[in-house]
Chains A and B, each alone.
Chain A
Amino acid sequence: GENVEQHPSTLSVQEGDSAVIKCTYSDSASNYFPWYKQELGKRPQLIIDIRSNVGEKKDQRIAVTLNKTAKHFSLHITETQPEDSAVYFCAASKTGANNLFFGTGTRLTIIP
């Protein structure tokens, strides 16, 4: 089955700086890669996703890049703000799969 690894497990960034979270996956057939943000005491929410037919996707201050050859994808947050503090999960799945395979999460703390 698919195995998704996520690094780092914790990340502290000065407000205004950029943050990068990286994930690798094992199944070369995986073709859908969502990212979830979970604020303290709240539910995980989808913030951005990418499919294997594109290499990069942006939405305001967040972007995701995908390298299919190396089987890794990354979340980039620019101009970080205190409200970016949360736990972030990457995930992967493929056509016909029954569920998403999640990474172990990254706790991002933005230092004012």
Chain B
Amino acid sequence: EADIYQTPRYLVIGTGKKITLECSQTMGHDKMYWYQQDPGMELHLIHYSYGVNSTEKGDLSSESTVSRIRTEHFPLTLESARPSHTSQYLCASSEPLSRGYTFGSGTRLTVV
């Protein structure tokens, strides 16, 4: 089934560890996004990509990095996790934008 998949669903790691959150979509969408979602609710755009080899920073400053080597894959990496990175991370894709986003189920990250 065409969809967008995120792994892991939940992750608890220690401070200073390097982690990669995976996001893959099987819809052939060019545009992909990473959002950080506060426990309260608000969605903050941290990275996006128009297509292969394109990445841009979003509105919220983030210490993470992303890559887009393949259309279907948009991983997010934290080189050195800190407790302030504890949050939910949502991946999304769209094509075209006028049909809205499809969101993944999210990764809930806890840094201890």
Contact = CB atoms under 8 A, between A and B. Distances in A.
B and A form one assembly = yes
A97 B97 contact: yes
Contacts of B100: 32, 34, 36, 46, 49, 91, 100
Interface in B8-26: none
Interface string B65-99: 00000000000000000000000001000100110
B45 to A, nearest CB: 6
Contact of B103 (A32, A45, A104): A45
Given A43-B104, A98-B50, A104 B97 contact: no
Nearest to B97: A93
A102 to B, nearest CB: 5
B41 interface: yes
A60 interface: no
Given A43-B106, A98-B48, A99-B48, A87 B41 contact: yes
B41 A104 contact: yes
Contacts of A32: 97-98, 100
Contacts of A46: 100-102
A104 to B, nearest CB: 5
Interface in A38-57: 38, 42-46, 49, 51
Contacts of A44: 43, 90, 101, 103
A43 B43 CA distance: 12
Given A43-B104, A43-B105, A44-B103, A99 B41 contact: no
A12 to B, nearest CB: 15
Contacts of A97: 97
A95 interface: yes
Given A98-B31, A100-B101, A105 B90 contact: no
